[in-house]
Amino acid sequence: MVMTVPEFKHAKRAGRKIAMVTAYDALFARIVDQAGIEAILVGDSLGIVVQGKDTTLSVTMEEMLYHTEMVARTARRALVISDMPFLSYQVSIEEALRNAGRLLQAGAAAVKLEGGRPIANRVRTLVECGIPVMGHIGMTPQAVHQYGGYKVQGKAPMHADNLRADAKLLEEAGAFSLVLEAVPSDLARDITESVSIPTIGIGAGPYCDGQILVLYDLLGLFDEFVPKFVKPYAHLKADALQALRRFKEEVECVKFPTETESYH
Ligand code: KIV
């Protein structure tokens, strides 16, 4: 079944949990799609896992467009959602609309914006113009310097109340779903029960309507920094290291190539 925005929203009403991962290129998007994962996020986390930077802050619109095109080319059934990078939606509503539209033209079916109250009017405008929006609250990585690091948010009662209010505001503004990142499980449960749109958790416990992980974390490819909420379902970095070391050895002792890999 091809996943659409209405179908995504329907999953919550039907009590079906949603599995989402990130992908940044055509090869992995095809694999994720074939695995039946419902939605792919072209995340600005590519700044960290693909580009090797410490934060997502320098990811540009041009880079997001490039990666969105690659992912959309091979994702046949999964819903493709693209992150709006830092400064692509904060400066003005007009810029937010133009940039979100460009991501849809590159092949995304929806965009994701970080933040609550300050961006609710952007969300409303995009939705009114036919652009589906996923919200993202809790630990929003584009605000990392405000937090002083990638830290759990919403622990203090006042902050938790702000996040509850943000979730309602984003729902009212027309967001079709909400990512809850690095918040206590009980708060994520409260928010999930208080909104009619699906919540997608990352480091937000088991009560969300769905879960998302960064693909390279899930596959055990990225080990520079592994947050507590990551569960590696494979160990592809270890496999890759083993394969590469074997290749090097076989080249050195002329065990590769053999007759099988040679032309005559
Ligand atoms: O950029 C990203 O990958 C994200 C998810 C981790 C939610 O925003």
Across-strand partners of 80?
A: 40
Mutate to test the pocket of ligand 1, among 32, 42, 64, 112 (most ligand atoms within 8 A of CB): 112
pLDDT of residue 225: 86
Identify the segments of the chain with pLDDT beneath 70.
none
Q: Which atom of ligand 1 is nearest to the CA of 45?
A: 1
Closest-lying ligand 1 atom to the alpha carbon of residue 83: 1
- pTM, to two decimals: 0.98
Pocket test for ligand 1, best of 24, 44, 225 (most atoms within 8 A of CB): 44
Q: Report pLDDT for 229.
A: 96
Atom of ligand 1 nearest to the CA of 43: 1
Residue whose Cα lies nearest atom 8 of ligand 1: it is 43
Residues 6+ apart with CB under 8 A from 180: 137, 138, 167, 188, 191, 192, 199, 200, 201, 202, 204, 208
Q: Assess contact for 21 and 37: CB atoms under 8 A.
A: yes
Distance from the CA of 238 to the center of ligand 1, in angstroms?
Answer: 24
DSSP sequence for 213-249: E-HHHHTT---S---TT---S--HHHHHHHHHHHHHH
Span 124-134, pLDDT tens digits: 999 999 999 99
Residue carrying structure tokens 């928010």? 191
Q: Are 136 and 204 in contact (CB under 8 A)?
A: no
Q: Give 191-232 pLDDT, tens digit per residue.
A: 999 999 999 999 999 999 999 999 999 999 999 889 999 999
Residues lining ligand 1, judged by CB closer than 6 Å?
22, 41, 43-45, 83, 179, 181, 202, 212, 214
Task: Answer yes or no: are the C-beta atoms of 114 and 158 closer than 8 Å.
Answer: no
**Which helix (H) or strand (E) covers residue 20, if one does?**
strand 18-22
Gap from CA of 10 to ligand 1 centroid (Å): 22
Q: Which of 151, 126, 132, 131 is nearest to 140 (CA)?
A: 151
Catalytic residue (one of 38, 181, 193, 261)? 181
Domains belonging to the chain, first-starting first, are 5-233 (3.20.20.60), 236-264 (no CATH)
Q: How far is the CA of 19 from the centre of ligand 1 (A)?
A: 14
Rounded to a whole number of angstroms, the distance between the first and last alpha carbons of the chain is 47
Query: Looking at residue 219, what is its pLDDT?
Result: 98
**181 is known as an active-site residue:** yes
Ligand 1 atom closest to 56 (CA): 1
**Ligand 1 atom at shortest distance from the alpha carbon of 213:** 6
**Plot region of 88 (φ>0 → left; ψ -120 to 50 → alpha; else → beta):** alpha
Give the dihedral of Cα atoms 65, 71, 72, 78; nearest 10 deg: -130
Q: Report residue 212: phi and psi, to 5°.
A: -130, 145
| CA pair distance 2, 16, nearest whole angstrom | 16
Residue of minimum CA distance from atom 6 in ligand 1: 214
User: How many A from CA of 42 to the centre of ligand 1?
Assistant: 8
CA of residue 255 to ligand 1 center, whole Å = 43
Tokens 């379902």, residue located: 233
Residue 20's nearest CA partner among 202, 158, 197 is: 202
